[in-house]
Amino acid sequence: MKPENLSFEEAATIPAGGLTALKNLQKANISKGQKILINGASGSLGTFAIQLAKYFGVEVTAVCSEKNFELVKSIGADKVIDYTKEDFTKINEKYDIVYDAVMKSTKAKCKRILKENGIFFKNSQLPKTEEKDLLFLKDIIENGEMKPVIDRIYSIEQIVEAHEYVDKGHKKGNVVIKID
């Protein structure tokens, strides 16, 4: 089941961030030609969502801080907004979907930038793991259309340190715990 072109550490991110991003986007009926804004685009869900949205043929605006612009562009973001300098809810654009991956905004705040039937959503709980979804993700990964972004890999002995790092809320992509 592991994608052949991923290490075990990389593959471990797929049933969490990868699957959650996929199920969220599917629930929002993402479809070719749409425009999506992803808030928290440099986190685990954000980096998966950018790549999935591009796979589905959607224009992506990524909201993250400037230090992550290069990262999000390298995985497909078409436009970038630095949340430390600009309030994305005040821009003159309209989106089909606003995905608040970092869970810092609200539907009411995003109303101005949503098209008439636009959809705003935050993260669901970790979705039920279904084989068909994992096989879909495996397929697009093996076709080179998605790759997990790994920030740090910690050993199981460093799990407290790992949680402290993640809890700061500034990781780039995914943090993995390696169990030998």
Sign for the CA dihedral angle at 175, 63, 68, 32 comes to positive
- Among 2, 7, 9, 16, which residue sits at the site for ligand NAP (rule: CB under 6 A)? 16
CB-based burial, 126-157: b 16+ in 10 Å, e otherwise: ebeeeeebbebbbebbeeeebbbbbbbbbeee
Compute, in degrees rounded to 10, the torsion defined by CA atoms 14, 20, 25, 29.
Answer: 110
Judged by CB, which is closer to ligand NAP: 39, or 89?
Answer: 39
Q: CB 46 → ligand NAP: shortest distance, Å?
A: 6
> Binding to ligand NAP by residue 24, rule CB under 6 A?
no
Binding positions for ligand NAP, 139-168, rule CB under 6 A: 166
Figure out which of the listed residues 68, 97, 118, 133 binds ligand NAP, where binding follows CB under 6 A: 68
Within residues 99-118, the interface with ligand NAP by CB under 6 A covers: 101-104
CA angle centred on 17, ends 56 and 118, rounded to 5°: 45
Contact criterion met (CB below 8 Å) for 22 and 136: yes
Tokens of 2: 């592991």
Q: Minimum distance from CB of 87 to ligand NAP (Å)?
A: 10
Q: Does 86 bind ligand NAP (CB under 6 A)?
A: no
Q: Does 61 bind ligand NAP (CB under 6 A)?
A: no
Using CB under 6 A as the binding rule, whether residue 69 contacts ligand NAP is answered as no
- Which residues form the interface with ligand NAP (CB under 6 A)? 16-17, 20, 39-40, 42-46, 63-65, 68, 83, 101-104, 123, 126, 166, 169-172
